[in-house]
Chain A
């Protein structure tokens, strides 16, 4: 009783009625502004070495997945629509889209466990929670002012690879991974499920951190805050002719239809607040709530007041709505204030070109009026994969098969974007970085390329520190 009164006296100071007053009528939820299940975290598009005639796309969702997060593990939301979009005309509108929809079944409704110990595969009744998905392929043809949309469900009931709960629950986790790799009708492969988070970045420094972690821009020693964390991935590999404008495999990097723009989005259902005759009726039934083309655009280019709008708009409006933020990026001013590096703060048409329009002669859409500035990953399907070891600096490191010509798993987009904003393409080459050069786990040389997730039993998230090394010059 006394403790109660002391606590209440504290709030009396500002006359807060909670927890006394608002009670159950209040509709404010915990973590009220977050929607992790809909949250795009990364999009990749590249030509895989072992599948040169195909396009490989990986889209990741749902941040913050600690492998030891049981008994409640994050899943794709059965009520949301997950998309991979492709633009093969260069106008920032989707021409081919792959829609992934999910349905979860719980075998034993009285248990909240993911699985009873010893579950060996998808058919094992010990597996309690099983999520399956369907793939719908949507195509849009725009000709002479008319738009024709087609949609076809090309696969159903495919299993989602569960998180690696631990060796007791899943003694042979690889069974799930293997069984989750499926052929796509019409050609190609697909995998959906838990993967090791493929992004690698030092996020965590505060102003304290600056003193502790000196000399880590281009010399390693950064802490990979996402090491050991898991993510929910969709990995799709389809023949080039399935996504190009002329429906043919690309003949070379100069092929007129070689460049395809890629991005991923999430949509949720709209409803009318008031129902009429017990039915919810709305004209446009879904709203886009998240989108991701180029990495880090939302974080470092789009200001706070525009983030919600960015998430629900489509790339074809990017130039008009957000062009000014790319031309005069706030990040350049911040870098100058912090490090006096002489980054040009205005007229950054080089950034607009590198990220939004495509680099001339490399990954610009041909034949489009412009080329337009749209936030999509522009991949030239005719650029051959890197012959030897991939250079994590991509194009600015002389490796034309890397970012921003598409995005490979190993491309160090943090370092690349920092250096580009600092003015690399304008001759101001500053060796900026985050001190983390690669992912904690090696990527696989075969489909699905993203590494297996850590097991909940022996995970040690956010602990990997990049070994120190001699300074790497700008561009690697």
Chain B
């Protein structure tokens, strides 16, 4: 309170737009996740910003200028940058968000918004132990607030702590059943092999009245789940629905590209993936593009995409970041398999999840150690996952270990959802079945 007195007393002498400025101060003291004063719509959560409202980043920068000591304003700025990052996929905003949260925490170690923001970024960096720590700290500071449960659940899942994750997600649903809770329940169900249940949970989140971005996100995820279930018709409907909400929504375009490949149209598939990766060079999409081109015999284009992925890898290595399991899979298939095993162990150590187990197993199989590879593949499926790539890796490991019957079973299961695999993976599976 004293800080406000000394800094703001000078600003106002006459009754000004009283509500607006008291609201701005209250927001800065107490602000929640979307620090946009003009869109604070006087209810449970805020809606999207109004047309002519002040830009949230600028609004928070003003608040900081008025009182640089106020932690909440810095945390608000961090949240505004995070929102920008999500909207634009420009990684520079993540950098600014990180600096803002750090500034907030220096001023007040108990600011919940800064703790949750820092945890969000830790999850994005794959520092899941760090994220869990920060999330639990936020829970301690504000036990009645629901938001910290989301970052805690995310970290627990990636750390392979599925029992705790189920408990956390259940709490999330019991307190605030909306998209964030339903999406995580869906993910848990997917990991435990309940694909029908995963779709059911996402459909609860596909709110007709929600923001178009949220609707597109949900429908694209439904599409991916339907691909895993081998239901290509339902997947197509979902992807088109997503594109109806947000034109050129990347995840939906990628989904349609997978359907193109599965229908024997590699040209259009590659064209779609090239268009998407031009705007959003996400690693997973680039890998899919590379494998689609290679499977279609387009060596030059395929190699080009591989080079892009390798460039991303180099930058991550230089930054000392722990990569995602998908890069272990990438190295195993397209790079040095011994290095892939090493990387796989590193990824497993930092994130002992079923995805990491699957990747390490695949690296071992490719490095000529299929018996160990098969053991890890089985470990990846211990929660009951029906993931097509998990099954593919298990089948190829079993084949390498001479267990033809087992290999056949897993490979046929994987091919039943072949639209969820890359064309190269499909080719690998078919060759192993001969």
Contact A434 B18 (CB under 8 A): yes
In the complex, which of the residues A39, A72, A201, A217 has the most CB atoms of chain B within 10 Å of its own CB atom? A72
Contact B87 A4 (CB under 8 A): no
Contact A7 B17 (CB under 8 A): no
Q: Is A389 an interface residue (CB 8 A)?
A: no
Q: Is B129 an interface residue (CB 8 A)?
A: no
Which of B281-289, B365-373, B395-403, B409-417 is the interface stretch?
B281-289
Q: Is A79 an interface residue (CB 8 A)?
A: yes
Contact A333 B1 (CB under 8 A): yes
Contact flags B48-59 to A (C-beta < 8 A → 1, else 0): 111111100011
Which of B166-174, B264-272, B293-301, B334-342 is the interface stretch?
B166-174
Which of A46-54, A334-342, A401-409 is the interface stretch?
A334-342
Contact B214 A10 (CB under 8 A): no
Q: Closest chain B residue to A300 by CB distance? A: B26
| Contact pick for B176, options A9, A289, A295, A299, CB 8 Å | A289
Q: Closest chain A residue to B87 by CB distance? A: A30
Q: Is A202 an interface residue (CB 8 A)?
A: yes
Q: Is B105 an interface residue (CB 8 A)?
A: no
Which of A20-28, A250-258, A380-388, A439-447 is the interface stretch?
A20-28
| Contact pick for A225, options B32, B33, B53, B312, CB 8 Å | B53
For A37, the chain B residues whose CB sits under 8 A away are: 207-210
Contact B86 A30 (CB under 8 A): yes
Contact flags A254-291 to B (C-beta < 8 A → 1, else 0): 00000000000000111111110010100000010111
Complex Cα–Cα for A35 and B215 (A): 11
Contact A210 B17 (CB under 8 A): yes
| Contact pick for A431, options B15, B123, B323, CB 8 Å | B15
Q: Is B121 an interface residue (CB 8 A)?
A: yes
Contact B44 A289 (CB under 8 A): yes
| Residues 288 to 336 of chain B near chain A (Cβ within 8 Å) | 308, 311-312, 315-316, 318-324, 326-327
Contact B44 A38 (CB under 8 A): yes
Contact B166 A337 (CB under 8 A): no
Give, as a whole number of angstroms, the nearest-CB distance from B433 to chain A: 27
Contact B54 A206 (CB under 8 A): yes
For B34, the chain A residues whose CB sits under 8 A away are: 31, 33-34
Complex Cα–Cα for A398 and B51 (A): 37
Q: Closest chain A residue to B212 by CB distance? A: A72
Q: Is A222 an interface residue (CB 8 A)?
A: yes
For B178, the chain A residues whose CB sits under 8 A away are: 35, 38, 268, 289
Complex Cα–Cα for A243 and B52 (A): 42
Contacts known (A64-B50, A271-B204); A35 close to B323, Cβ less than 8 A: no
| Contact pick for B283, options A20, A204, A213, A217, CB 8 Å | A20
Contact B180 A25 (CB under 8 A): no
| Contact pick for B174, options A213, A270, A296, CB 8 Å | A270
Q: Is A16 an interface residue (CB 8 A)?
A: yes
Complex Cα–Cα for A268 and B204 (A): 9
Give, as a whole number of angstroms, the nearest-CB distance from B150 to chain A: 7
| Contact pick for A66, options B9, B51, B142, B183, CB 8 Å | B51
For B327, the chain A residues whose CB sits under 8 A away are: 21
For B213, the chain A residues whose CB sits under 8 A away are: 30-31
Contact A299 B42 (CB under 8 A): yes
Which secondary structure dominates chain A's binding surface?
A: loop
| Contact pick for B211, options A34, A213, A432, CB 8 Å | A34
For B281, the chain A residues whose CB sits under 8 A away are: 4, 19
Complex Cα–Cα for A71 and B245 (A): 8
Contact B180 A16 (CB under 8 A): no
| Contact pick for B21, options A33, A205, A291, CB 8 Å | A205
Contact B92 A17 (CB under 8 A): no
Q: Closest chain B residue to A11 by CB distance? A: B91
Q: Is B20 an interface residue (CB 8 A)?
A: yes
Q: Is A78 an interface residue (CB 8 A)?
A: yes
Which of B185-193, B374-382, B423-431 is the interface stretch?
B185-193
For B197, the chain A residues whose CB sits under 8 A away are: 275, 278, 280
In the complex, which of the residues B42, B98, B142, B187 has the most CB atoms of chain A within 10 Å of its own CB atom? B42
For A29, the chain B residues whose CB sits under 8 A away are: 179-180, 183, 214, 217-218
Complex Cα–Cα for A463 and B51 (A): 10
Contact A337 B4 (CB under 8 A): yes
Contact B54 A215 (CB under 8 A): no
Q: Is B41 an interface residue (CB 8 A)?
A: yes
Which of A132-140, A169-177, A303-311, A363-371 is the interface stretch?
A303-311
For B53, the chain A residues whose CB sits under 8 A away are: 203-204, 225, 462
Q: Is A218 an interface residue (CB 8 A)?
A: yes
For B189, the chain A residues whose CB sits under 8 A away are: 273-275
Q: Is B114 an interface residue (CB 8 A)?
A: no
Q: Is A438 an interface residue (CB 8 A)?
A: no
Contact A32 B200 (CB under 8 A): no
Total inter-chain residue pairs, C-beta < 8 Å: 435
Q: Is A229 an interface residue (CB 8 A)?
A: yes
Contact A34 B316 (CB under 8 A): no
Give, as a whole number of angstroms, the nearest-CB distance from A412 to chain B: 10
Q: Closest chain B residue to A435 by CB distance? A: B17
Q: Closest chain A residue to B113 by CB distance? A: A304
Q: Is A424 an interface residue (CB 8 A)?
A: no
Contact B45 A461 (CB under 8 A): no
Contacts known (A8-B311, A21-B126, A41-B42); A207 close to B21, Cβ less than 8 A: yes
Contacts known (A280-B200, A462-B50); A214 close to B179, Cβ less than 8 A: no
Complex Cα–Cα for A12 and B176 (A): 35
Contact B32 A307 (CB under 8 A): yes
Give, as a whole number of angstroms, the nearest-CB distance from B145 to chain A: 5
Complex Cα–Cα for A256 and B220 (A): 57
Contact B37 A271 (CB under 8 A): no
Contact A40 B44 (CB under 8 A): yes
For B94, the chain A residues whose CB sits under 8 A away are: 11, 14, 16, 18
Give, as a whole number of angstroms, the nearest-CB distance from A463 to chain B: 7
Give, as a whole number of angstroms, the nearest-CB distance from A216 to chain B: 5
Q: Closest chain B residue to A297 by CB distance? A: B42
| Residues 172 to 230 of chain A near chain B (Cβ within 8 Å) | 199, 201-211, 213-218, 222, 225-226, 229
Contact A76 B209 (CB under 8 A): yes
| Contact pick for B312, options A8, A268, A334, A462, CB 8 Å | A8
Complex Cα–Cα for A278 and B126 (A): 33
Q: Closest chain A residue to B142 by CB distance? A: A305
Contact B176 A287 (CB under 8 A): yes
Q: Is A77 an interface residue (CB 8 A)?
A: yes
Give, as a whole number of angstroms, the nearest-CB distance from A17 to chain B: 5
Contact flags B111-145 to A (C-beta < 8 A → 1, else 0): 01000000011011110000000000000011011
Name 12 A/B residue pairs within 8 A (Cβ), A-sorted: A21-B316, A31-B34, A36-B47, A39-B43, A63-B47, A74-B210, A209-B54, A210-B16, A210-B17, A217-B18, A289-B178, A461-B52
Beyond the given pairs A33-B34, A298-B44, A435-B17, 12 more chain A to chain B contacts, judged by CB atoms under 8 angstroms and listed by A's residue number, are: A16-B94, A16-B124, A17-B126, A21-B124, A31-B211, A34-B48, A39-B43, A79-B206, A222-B17, A275-B189, A287-B176, A309-B144
> Which residues of A are interface residues toward B (Cβ below 8 A)?
1, 4-5, 7-42, 62-66, 71-72, 74-80, 102, 104, 109, 112, 131, 199, 201-211, 213-218, 222, 225-226, 229, 232, 268-275, 278, 280, 287, 289-292, 295-296, 298-300, 303-309, 311-312, 330-331, 333-335, 337-340, 414-415, 418, 431-435, 461-463
Nearest 8 pairs of A and B residues by beta carbon: A64-B47, A63-B41, A217-B15, A37-B209, A205-B20, A434-B19, A63-B47, A11-B91
